Structure 1
Amino acid sequence: MSLLALSVSQLGQGLRRGAFSAEEVTRAALGRIAALDGTLHAFVRVEEDAALAAARAADAELRGGHDRGPLHGIPYATKDIFDVAGLPTTCQSRLRLDHVAPADAAVTARLRAGGAVLLGKLATFEFALGGTSFDLPFPPARNPWNTDHIPGGSSSGSAAAVAAGLLRVATASCTSGSIRGPAAWCGVAGLKPSFGRVSRRGVFPLSWTMDHCGPIARSVEDAAIALQNMAGHDPLDPGSIDHPVPDYRAALDKGVRGLRIGVPRAFFEDQPALAPDARAGIAATLARLRTAGAVVRDVALPDLAQFIACSRVIMAAESFAIHRRDLARRLHDYGEAAAGRFLPGAGIAAADYLDAQRLRASLAAAVSAALRDNDVLVTAISLDTAPSFVSQLGPVSWPLQASPFNVSGHPALSVPVGLGRDGLPLAVQVVGRFFDEAGVLRAGRAIERLTGWDAVPLPSIATP
């Protein structure tokens, strides 16, 4: 674990001074995958030969003075809805087992250009929606902190792989919380950037007006470095927005003194699902932020139920539109969970969909108004630790509060703050103004340090 325990920044420094090679780092990652993934099922495909070849190429370039940036020579893996040229993009579905991507997704191309070393494809839910299903071509990923528990939403493989120390960075996507939910339940950093900040081209869609792509990473700093490589305008993605990309590490360690933090307390404190450990974790985090010099005050947002209803109507209508032909022709090739979540979209009327989009604009304006006099918001991401596989809780009833900021499009980060009594991670959510990912990351980095999470060791994973 010595090499894999190093941050992305530390790995980069070591590679450039010749302390070790990208091939050594990649072999260490591949060895840990071989040792643990038979238990975790985070990967659906490992590309050992291609990864080693890419690592050797990175070593040769760095020795020759050709430096592609902070991810050059760093291993990563990608959620299996992101296209990688020449590899299957299965979306964890029988419908896509024979699909081979003709070209890289925009994010894949950016990471390739940055010299990152692709290890393989990561587990997801079927078409990024269904749930932790056992009737699919690949088994569901498991939570490294306790493999009897789920790792979260559809970026489950990404979060499980990072939390288990198989790698430092993975790509992920988020439509109603599938970056921040798995990150929260696996104890890693998960950043959903502003809508339009990262291209979705070449990523299988779920809801084209709420899909976001972003990183899941071992630390907030690792996430900042990954976003630096992933962010940027893509004229071939209709949802991409041409907005300057700043240096995400420039203010990362400035702390929170003087930072104005709004807390939408009614969002989480009025929820029956809020567990005592989660309540205590949020309260302790806010207290530490005050002690560190932040100005913490309550703010009001529209009722959480409005955000959730808006999200469900839009996602159901758009996802059904994407799948309607396959649902009509190949319904029995879908897993039971995915089919059960796609089909209700057939009953959503055009007027309902348009009403939801109008409501969405109002809700986004309300979040922006709350951020007018506050630099960031800090709120819950999960009301409890990860449920077990046998809990009977389906995704629509999971105690997560991520979807409001997919609806609004604001950047949002899940950052761990400790462990609950059951030994599973607790987290909070930081939300910022449009395109102020730098401010969100700054606050998240401070929380990571104030709570001591950056010193928490990796989970111990029992293998057969």
Structure 2
Amino acid sequence: MKDILTKSALELADLLAAGTITSVELTQACLDRIEALNPKINAFLHVDREGALATAADVDARRAAGEKLHRLAGVPIALKDNMVVRGMPTTCASKILQGWLPPYDATITVKIRQAGLPIVGKTNMDEFAMGSSTEHSAFGPTLNPWDTARIPGGSGGGSAAAVAAFMVPLALGSDTGGSIRQPGSVTGTVGAKPTYGAVSRYGLVAMASSLDQIGPVTRTVADAAALTELIGGHDPADSTSLNEPVPPLVEAARAVAEKGAIEGLRVGVVKELSGEGYAPDVLAAFNETVEKLRDAGADIVEVSCPSFDYALAAYYLIMPAEVSSNLARFDGIRYGIRVEPTQGPVTAQRVMAATREAGFGDEVKRRIILGTHVLSAGFFDAYYGSAQKVRTLIQRDFARVFEDVDVLVSPTAPTTAFKFGDKIDDPMAMYLNDIATIPANLAGVPAMSVPNAVSDEGLPVGFQIIAPAHGDQRMYEVAQLVETLSDDVVSQCPAAQWDEKSAQAGEVQEEK
């Protein structure tokens, strides 16, 4: 079944519909590969073998009975471990939630269940989605299938690694400042952040509520489009949910793939998101793809968004402030672990302090402290208020340039995957990995990363497309064009050559 697992989700859906394979066979193949590779990669924190196979068997029975099913019915999927699934452990990769079983399903979980996709498990992440390398997980880092000595990005490194290593064809991540797109860039996967509010956040454990957005992690643009169509749409349970229909993303992507061009396409190259600080191989791959778009008939213009220079600073004031507020609920009283002080009286305040000290990791504590500081009475206007003003300027810059261009493009990340430990002790160096992805979150506009090249070191490079708010369809069209014009990056991942027997025998070695 190894060759089956390298196929796209839509190809697998066609095989299932034709009766060439069954969902039980496909799900079992995914589970076998997870069992073989996960001890090495650590992409999954929890695997639900029984539940996934039960869903698969149900889909097979319904299909055999002639029932009309969702196109993706029977295709396995993994969820980032900050999305709740009733009765399945949800930890956010934090000790403070270790063993917690949610009593309800997230809206995206409900939609996935109704469509008949077997949920094989929950993927690893930086604790509470705080990080760019998945080194901040309380349960150990996830390794990059391209080079297991390197990071898979973050915070959603588990979902990206699971898809890149052909453990599952589909996964979901959450993107607060690039946590879908940056892992996509360094693992050679497709990662998309929809327009803010296009996918319900109900049941997503909040990090920064005004920035968080759930999106797809796949190996092709068409698969990402299909998954977004499934999970998107209005949700009354989410007060920020957009009340508008989901655009025909798969159909739009297919039309571009067949034609190989987009008439009248205007592409803006963001001056502030390239140049100094970006690795030469990343810039070379980006410029080559831009020229391919030009050759395909696109009108390429350089645009300037001056406020983007302040986006990183604004983000790391707004985000920690919201983190401080959202994580106040983890107090050792209502749910999660409870740690009581070893000496002195057992008061609610002292239980809370002991629980948070033991349950939260260093990066989470760092952001809570920073957020509490910027929200304090003496500093609110100087820091948080000023950051919100910068956010408005960024939104205005986007609105201005989108009057002249259809999409903006940039490298997704300034470098390819770096080695474990290189930046773990330097928070500022780690934060700079999100420099190109953050502006889209601050403005709430859609953005996605598409693999467009492999560097001289044999590492994938990502190309970012940003569209106006509600312009997800145009974003997918351009992403499909980039994928069509680029070399096949996915098949070059070393994990494509790994098999279960060699993994179980310990022959999957770290790349040097």
The normalised TM-score by structure 1 is 0.95
Q: Deviations over 1:83-103 (max 9, x none)?
A: 001112111111101321111
The answer to whether the 8 Å contact 1:382/1:427 transfers is yes
Against the structure 1 CA distance between its residues 454 and 94, is the aligned structure 2 distance closer, same or farther, given a 3 Å change threshold?
closer
Identify which of 301, 305, 323 aligns with 1:297.
301
Tell me how many residue pairs correspond in the alignment.
Answer: 462
The answer to whether the 8 Å contact 1:77/1:119 transfers is yes
Deviation at 1:336, TM superposition (A): 1.9
Q: In 2, distance between residues paired with 1:94 and 1:389?
A: 22
- Tell me, yes or no, if structure 1 residue 340 matches structure 2 residue 344: no
Match for residue 487 of structure 2? 452
The answer to whether the 8 Å contact 1:4/1:165 transfers is yes
Question: 1:35-434 to 2 correspondence within 5 Å?
Answer: 35-130=36-131, 132=133, 137-252=138-253, 253-254=255-256, 255-269=261-275, 271=276, 273-324=277-328, 326=330, 329=353, 330-348=356-374, 349-351=379-381, 352-393=383-424, 394=427, 395-398=430-433, 400-434=435-469
Which has the larger displacement, 106-115 or 362-371? 362-371
Against the structure 1 CA distance between its residues 165 and 325, is the aligned structure 2 distance closer, same or farther, given a 3 Å change threshold?
closer
Deviation at 1:225, TM superposition (A): 0.5
- Tell me, yes or no, if structure 1 residue 435 matches structure 2 residue 441: no
Against the structure 1 CA distance between its residues 440 and 8, is the aligned structure 2 distance closer, same or farther, given a 3 Å change threshold?
same
The answer to whether the 8 Å contact 2:453/2:489 transfers is no
Deviation at 1:368, TM superposition (A): 2.1
The answer to whether the 8 Å contact 1:93/1:334 transfers is yes
Deviation at 1:344, TM superposition (A): 1.2
Q: In 1, distance between residues paired with 2:193 and 2:317?
A: 21
Secondary structure in structure 2 of the residue aligned to 1:101: coil
Q: Deviations over 1:413-464 (max 9, x none)?
A: 1001111121111111001111121111111111112111267333235526
Q: In 2, distance between residues paired with 1:131 and 1:250?
A: 33
Deviation at 1:267, TM superposition (A): 2.1
Q: In 2, distance between residues paired with 1:379 and 1:131?
A: 18
Q: In 2, distance between residues paired with 1:147 and 1:281?
A: 23
Q: In 1, distance between residues paired with 2:490 and 2:35?
A: 26
Identity %: 34
Whichever residue aligns with residue 294 of structure 1, its letter is A
Which has the larger displacement, 393-402 or 225-234? 393-402
Against the structure 1 CA distance between its residues 65 and 373, is the aligned structure 2 distance closer, same or farther, given a 3 Å change threshold?
farther
Which has the larger displacement, 209-218 or 364-373? 364-373
Q: In 2, distance between residues paired with 1:152 and 1:61?
A: 39
Whichever residue aligns with residue 460 of structure 2, its letter is P
Q: In 1, distance between residues paired with 2:329 and 2:75?
A: 40
The answer to whether the 8 Å contact 1:8/1:71 transfers is yes
Secondary structure in structure 1 of the residue aligned to 2:208: coil
The answer to whether the 8 Å contact 1:207/1:315 transfers is yes
Q: Deviations over 1:307-350 (max 9, x none)?
A: 11221111011101122464762223211222123211111033
Whichever residue aligns with residue 205 of structure 1, its letter is A
Q: In 1, distance between residues paired with 2:489 and 2:164?
A: 13
Against the structure 1 CA distance between its residues 430 and 167, is the aligned structure 2 distance closer, same or farther, given a 3 Å change threshold?
same
The answer to whether the 8 Å contact 1:219/1:454 transfers is no
Which has the larger displacement, 186-195 or 235-244? 235-244
Deviation at 1:130, TM superposition (A): 4.7
The answer to whether the 8 Å contact 2:272/2:309 transfers is no
- Flag structure 1 segments of 5+ consecutive residues without an equivalent: none
Deviation at 1:141, TM superposition (A): 0.8
Secondary structure in structure 2 of the residue aligned to 1:249: helix
RMSD of the alignment, in Å?
Answer: 1.8
- Flag structure 2 segments of 5+ consecutive residues without an equivalent: 332-351, 499-506
Secondary structure in structure 2 of the residue aligned to 1:404: helix
Q: Which has the larger radius of gyration?
A: 2
Which has the larger displacement, 443-452 or 320-329? 320-329
Against the structure 1 CA distance between its residues 281 and 297, is the aligned structure 2 distance closer, same or farther, given a 3 Å change threshold?
same
Deviation at 1:203, TM superposition (A): 0.7
The answer to whether the 8 Å contact 2:124/2:157 transfers is yes
The normalised TM-score by structure 2 is 0.87
Q: Deviations over 1:240-281 (max 9, x none)?
A: 111221111122132334211111123212x2x211101100
Whichever residue aligns with residue 272 of structure 2, its letter is A
Match for residue 21 of structure 1? 22
